[in-house]
Amino acid sequence: MPTTSPKQHTLDLLRTMLGTHADFRPGQWDAIEAVAIQKKRALVVQRTGWGKSLVYFLATKLLREQGAGPTLLISPLLSLMRNQIEMAQRIGIRAHTIHSANREEWDTVETALKENTCDALLISPERLNNERFLQSVLPGMTGSIGLFVVDEAHCISDWGHDFRPDYRRITRILNMLPKSAPVLGTTATANNRVVADVQSQLGADLLVLRGTLTRESLRLQNITLANQSERLAWLVENLPKLPGSGIVYCLTVPDTERVTGWLKKKGFSAEAYHAESPDRPALEQSFLNNEVKILVATVALGMGFDKPDIGFVIHFQRPGSVVAYYQQVGRAGRAVERAYGILLSGAEDDEIQDYFIQSAFPSIETMNQILAALAKTEGLPINDILARVNVSRSMLDKALKLLEVDGAIGTAFENRKTVYFRTPNPWQPDIERIEHVTQLRRAEQSQMQDYMAHTGCLMEFLQRALDDAHPQPCGRCANCRSKGLPKTVSHELVIEAEAHLKGASIPIAPRHMLPAGIFPDHKRKILPELLNEAGRSLCYYGDAGWGTLVRSGKYEQNHFSDELVEAAAHLIIDEWKPEPFPVWMTAIPSRRHPELVRRFAERLSTRIRIPFHPVLVRISDAPQQKTMQNSSMQANNVFNTIGISGDIPNTPVLLVDDILDSGWTLAMAGWLLRSHGCGQVFPFTLAQATARNS
């Protein structure tokens, strides 16, 4: 055991991790002392970048030196903790992780736990529902856990901006722990309501350690611009004025791609970062090394990402809550004297947030349909549930997780697939909770609208909204200083940005696999000779550029303008240039708008000088395709209601529709055409529905 005082010994360890001149930040030693010396349960609420990971790794070292068992840390951010784990290794912490991507290491980790050579085990909350972990790992730990850590503890709370059902399982482990086992929760985004909810779950004797939320290096400013083209122009004019590297946050994946394409076109070093980005760790490393100046990101670049020298964070659209905004803008200015947090706002902000709020919970009807489908069988894999219930895959994942946490369903592993089955436990929807959370999200949306219009100190507004005990004017934001970056942009650059938005066509990838349930007795892979070719869409529905014309043409005028005909012809002839070029054209039929797409296709066929043949017909009425929520329902909805009329030329065809939603209308129509002897099928739509994902 060390002969120096615990505080001095811990400071020496800190300097081994960070360097000889490192010192505790205000509140760090208090948190370490609470759990490692006094063995209390504590919740640390500190701003991003304060150093919460240092607290639990230093506390782990002290507890292990006292002979305590290993730390069990639950965090959703394992992929972003590489740097923290490396620092912990400098003081001899042997940290291991168990997650879905390192199965080959599980045996080694379990052996280390049995031999007491593991100091800290890091897992994701989803691991608490893994059968092997629950049966082989956890029982051997619960009596010897030296420290139990809940990272991003606001996820426990229904009122947290990032509530996750898997975190509910944490209370089960807490109930299994000895009363003497210290517990540490950490978060940067917890107001009084969230703290009270976390306290009710971690224990009434929970010690809450809160620090100030103000960040002295950060200069905040809010700017409202009418449309996306103005915001794109603003970025080009003002990014060169900002220091170092930074992040531009967008609300949707398509927006990250659009903004990135524009910035690259204007000579900036920028890359898109979102849930679908290939090799995200490589992108993170390039950004950390300043090889990429700007990451244009969704919330996928969220909690846990730590680059101390970020000089600016710009929001291309307004986030849904103050806590989400504070967390994201707090990525800037951690280790630099001056950094900027610029919030841009535009017309689509509320529409996108409305979508997020409305899709936050599965409907009660959907939950009951899932339970009813499972009750009729001995168990179903996910694809078979989708074939029986009209629910999207993402919403089904949410519903299954909630039902599983509630004990209404269970899982088994059969034929290398997870199978879900109905348990005997009764289930009643918690309607009151859903309504309360939805009302809170609406209130948060309103609060962000107020923040955008606020004329006083912006940092003080954030502090008050997050229940900081000592809110005060910062003297640094644009409102305090009565000056900031320009709020107007060059008209010429706006026109150029609008042309960029109108010129950015979107690919349509062919569907290669049929969903479950279409042809139960056949393989799901679509034969190559029945596949569509790669296609194109002119724009995203409703977005700046052509998207607004498509929306008004469909739902206001019932007529697509000559301007859209000309834009489509230009894309097909001059940019896309499908090879071999289509010899004829046909269109997807509709009983609700029987003339809309047909008239557009006929005019387009005249413009590009190929004949139009209406060979596709509706053989029965069907629900609107946009109401079908998953691939099985979408494909069936088309296949059962569309047919062929007349002779099909054995030559390439341009298959036209107005709006692509799931892609299954085009895929099944193309399959029908090819099955009846048609040549290659090239799909074209005026727009693609915007996917509201990250």
CA angle 575, 578, 581 (to 5 degrees): 120
Domain range annotation of the chain = 6-210, 218-354+454-499, 365-432, 505-688
Burial of 371 (0-12, 13-18, 19+ CB in 10 A): middle
- Tell me the C-alpha distance between 85 and 96, whole Å: 9
CA angle 554, 556, 558 (to 5 degrees): 50
Query: Which ranges of 4-162 does DSSP label H, i.e. alpha helix?
Result: 6-18, 28-32, 52-65, 82-89, 106-114, 131-132, 138-141
Paired with 420 in beta bridges are: 380, 411
- Collapsing DSSP to helix, strand or coil, 209 comes out as strand
Please, are residues 196 and 28 in contact by the beta-carbon 8 Å criterion?
no
Please, are residues 147 and 63 in contact by the beta-carbon 8 Å criterion?
yes
Please, are residues 43 and 198 in contact by the beta-carbon 8 Å criterion?
yes
Please, are residues 63 and 90 in contact by the beta-carbon 8 Å criterion?
no
- Tell me the C-alpha distance between 142 and 87, whole Å: 26
For residue 681 the two structure tokens come to: 């099928």
Nearest residue to 682 via CA among 528, 544, 565, 577: 577
Supply the pLDDT for residue 302: 66
Task: Produce one character per residue of 239-250: b if its CB has 16 or more CB atoms within 10 Å, e if not.
Answer: beebbebbbbbb
- Tell me the C-alpha distance between 134 and 151, whole Å: 20
Burial of 254 (0-12, 13-18, 19+ CB in 10 A): buried
- Tell me the C-alpha distance between 390 and 21, whole Å: 60
pTM, two decimals, is 0.80
Please, are residues 391 and 366 in contact by the beta-carbon 8 Å criterion?
yes
For residue 218 the two structure tokens come to: 């950060």
Please, are residues 253 and 693 in contact by the beta-carbon 8 Å criterion?
yes
Please, are residues 510 and 660 in contact by the beta-carbon 8 Å criterion?
no
Q: What is the CATH number of domain 6-210?
A: 3.40.50.300
Supply the pLDDT for residue 161: 62
- Tell me the C-alpha distance between 325 and 164, whole Å: 19
Place of tokens 């920028």: 270
Maximum CA extent, the chain = 93
Residues 6+ apart with CB under 8 A from 492: none
Helix, strand and coil content of the chain, in percent to the nearest 5, comes to: 45, 15, 40
Please, are residues 667 and 532 in contact by the beta-carbon 8 Å criterion?
yes
Q: Domain 365-432, CATH 1.10.10.10 — does that match?
A: yes
- Tell me the C-alpha distance between 450 and 457, whole Å: 13
Query: N- to C-terminal Cα distance for the chain?
Result: 48
CATH architecture of 218-354+454-499: 3-Layer(aba) Sandwich (3.40)
> If you write DSSP's letter for every residue of 217-280 in order, what string do you get?
TEEEEEEE-SSHHHHHHHHHHHGGGS-S-EEEE-SSHHHHHHHHHHHHHTT--EEEESTT-TTH
Measured CA to CA in angstroms, residue 210 lies from 38, 47, 76, 147 at distances of: 18, 9, 22, 20
Nearest residue to 266 via CA among 293, 297, 298, 300: 293
3-state secondary structure string, 501-519? HHHCCEEECCCCECCCCCC
525 DSSP assignment: B
Mean pLDDT by 10 residues, the chain (694 residues): 83 92 93 95 87 92 94 79 79 88 82 90 84 78 85 80 75 81 88 86 87 86 92 97 95 91 96 88 90 93 77 95 88 88 90 86 93 94 90 89 89 83 93 88 94 96 90 95 94 90 84 74 79 93 82 92 96 94 95 90 97 91 74 76 89 96 88 94 92 42
Pick the CATH number of 505-688 from 3.40.50.2020, 2.60.120.620, 3.90.1150.10, 3.30.420.10: 3.40.50.2020
CB atoms within 10 A of CB 191: 20
Supply the pLDDT for residue 358: 85
Residues 6+ apart with CB under 8 A from 570: none
Measured CA to CA in angstroms, residue 228 lies from 224, 232, 233, 505 at distances of: 11, 6, 9, 16
> If you write DSSP's letter for every residue of 418-444 in order, what string do you get?
EEEEE-SS-----HHHHHHHHHHHHHH
Please, are residues 256 and 233 in contact by the beta-carbon 8 Å criterion?
no
Nearest residue to 383 via CA among 515, 526, 512: 515
6-210 and 218-354+454-499 have identical folds: yes
Burial of 74 (0-12, 13-18, 19+ CB in 10 A): buried
The phi, psi pair for 95, rounded to 5°, reads -100, 135
Query: Which ranges of 37-169 does DSSP label H, i.e. alpha helix?
Result: 52-65, 82-89, 106-114, 131-132, 138-141
